[in-house]
Amino acid sequence: QVQLVQSGAEVKKPGASVKVSCKASGYTFTGYYMHWVRQAPGQGLEWMGWINPNSGGTNYAQKFQGRVTMTRDTSISTAYMELSRLRSDDTAVYYCARRGITMVRGVPVIAFDIWGQGTMVTVSS
Amino acid sequence: DIQMTQSPSSLSASVGDRVTITCQASQDISNYLNWYQQKPGKAPKLLIYDASNLETGVPSRFSGSGSGTDFTFTISSLQPEDIATYYCQQYDNLPIAFGQGTRLEIK
């Protein structure tokens, strides 16, 4: 079945980097954009950016520019999100989410139809 | 950046009740709005896309409406399994933005 499986929980010290993986299965990996969304404990959802697995092109939210890098390895259908210079307020669950390919009135719908299970990243000294 | 404001932030209702959540955008986003359901400890699930289209496999008691800046999400008859937090999400402009969420509880 179509699924995204993420890597396990991480504990990092302030100033370190973390790299989260997201392995896709059950569909053509290069056919769908992959987005990353995070959720701090007890808080709402925050969009971080996307990667086009076909071209490797990326677009990051301004808030994360300079600290986030999204990459992919098409040979193993896996997307990665690396966040550097971690701070305590980066403590959150990080999700990868597939953008569907639905079009409405000729416009692509940017909706996330498949989500990974989430990866808890804790930043603590 | 576009800001999304949901109301109420929390809501208590009885099984069988009609439940309505609103989402307001800080500027006109046409129909470029989705709704998600998130249960505790789980990833969000897409329910409604393009303001009013039901995602495949989602029960018909869920519906959405609106355009421009004002949107509504409705559960026609609340079921126990609908207990969750609901989020709206705009995709008219980057950065993609979510509402702050509405926590739905059973009375």
Q: Do B98 and A44 touch (CB under 8 A)?
A: yes
Q: Which residue of B96, B98, B102 is the best one to mutate when testing the A interface, meaning the one whose CB has the most A CBs within 10 A?
A: B96
Instruction: Reply yes or no on whether the pLDDT at A101 is more than 90.
Output: no
- Residue reference for tokens 């576009």: B2
Q: d(Cα B32, Cα A108) in Å, to the nearest integer?
A: 10
Q: d(Cα B31, Cα B49) in Å, to the nearest integer?
A: 9
Nearest Cα residue to B84 out of B69, B68, B62? B62
Percent of chain B at pLDDT > 90 equals 99
Which tens digit of pLDDT belongs to each residue from B8-54? 999 999 999 999 999 999 999 999 999 999 999 999 999 999 999 99
* The pLDDT of residue A119: 98
Mean pLDDT over each residue of chain B, to the nearest integer: 97
Q: Quickly state the pLDDT bin for A107 (edges 50, 70, 90).
A: confident
Q: Do A45 and B31 touch (CB under 8 A)?
A: no
- Which among A61, A63, A118 has the least Cβ separation from residue B43? A118
Nearest Cα residue to A90 out of A81, A98, A79? A81
Contacts of A66 (CB under 8 A, 6+ apart): none
- Which among B43, B53, B94 has the least Cβ separation from residue A117? B43
Instruction: Reply yes or no on whether the pLDDT at A102 is more than 90.
Output: no
- Which among A35, A46, A111 has the least Cβ separation from residue B49? A111
Chain B residues in contact with A1 (beta carbon < 8 A): none
Q: Do A115 and B97 touch (CB under 8 A)?
A: no
Which tens digit of pLDDT belongs to each residue from B76-88? 999 999 999 999 9
Q: d(Cα B5, Cα B26) in Å, to the nearest integer?
A: 8
